[in-house]
Amino acid sequence: MLEVRRLNSFYAAVQALKNVSISVKKGDIITIIGANGAGKTTLLKTISGLILEHDGNILYEGKSLSGLLPGEIVALGICLVPEGRQIFGHLSVLDNLKLGAYLYYDRRHKDEIRENMEKVYAIFPILKNRRRQLSGTLSGGEQQMLAIGRAMMSRPKLMMMDEPSMGLAPLMVREIFRVIQELHHDGTTILLVEQNARAALKMGVFGYVLETGEIVLQGDTKILLEDEKVKHAYLGK
CATH of the domain at 173: 3.40.50.300
Q: What are residue 39's phi and psi, to 5 degrees?
A: 115, 10
Q: What is the pLDDT of residue 205?
A: 93
Q: Are residues 151 and 162 in the same domain?
A: no
Residue 82 lies in a domain: no
For residues 57 and 162, state if they share a domain: yes
Q: Residues 34, 145: one domain?
A: no
Tell whether 128 is covered by a domain: yes
State which of 155, 185, 206 marks the end of a domain: 155
38 vs 174: CA distance, rounded Å: 25
Same-domain pairing of 163 and 72: yes
pTM of the model: 0.91
How many structural domains is the chain composed of?
Answer: 2
Query: 103 and 150: one domain?
Result: yes
- As a dihedral over the C-alpha atoms of residue 217, residue 80, residue 156, residue 137, rounded to 10 degrees, the angle is 130
Whether 139 and 196 map to the same domain: the answer is no
Residue at a domain's end among 107, 129, 155: 155
Does residue 140 belong to any structural domain of this protein?
yes
Say yes or no: 50 and 166 in one domain.
yes
Q: In this structure, are 123 and 175 located in the same domain?
A: no
Is residue 65 domain-shared with residue 162, that is, in the same domain?
yes
pLDDT of residue 237: 58
User: Is 9 a domain residue?
Assistant: yes
Residue 95 lies inside a defined structural domain of this protein: yes
Q: Which of 136, 155, 174 is the last residue of a domain?
A: 155
pLDDT in tens, the chain (237 residues): 999 999 999 988 889 999 999 999 999 999 999 988 889 999 999 999 998 888 899 999 999 998 899 999 999 999 999 988 889 999 999 999 999 988 877 777 788 888 899 999 999 999 999 999 999 999 988 999 999 999 999 989 999 999 998 888 888 899 899 999 999 998 999 999 998 888 899 999 999 999 999 999 999 999 999 888 888 888 765
DSSP string, 201-231: HHH-SEEEEEETTEEEEEEEHHHHHH-HHHH
In this structure, the answer to whether residues 10 and 73 fall within a common structural domain is yes
Four-residue CA torsion sign, 40, 235, 181, 221? positive
Rounded CA separation 180/40 (Å): 19
The pLDDT score that the predictor gives to residue 103 is 81
- Pair 1, 41 in one domain: yes
Q: Is 162 in the same domain as 237?
A: yes
**Integer angstrom CA distances of residue 50 from 22, 116, 150, 197:** 18, 26, 18, 25
Q: Which domain holds residue 114?
A: 87-155
Q: Does the residue 131 lie in any domain?
A: yes
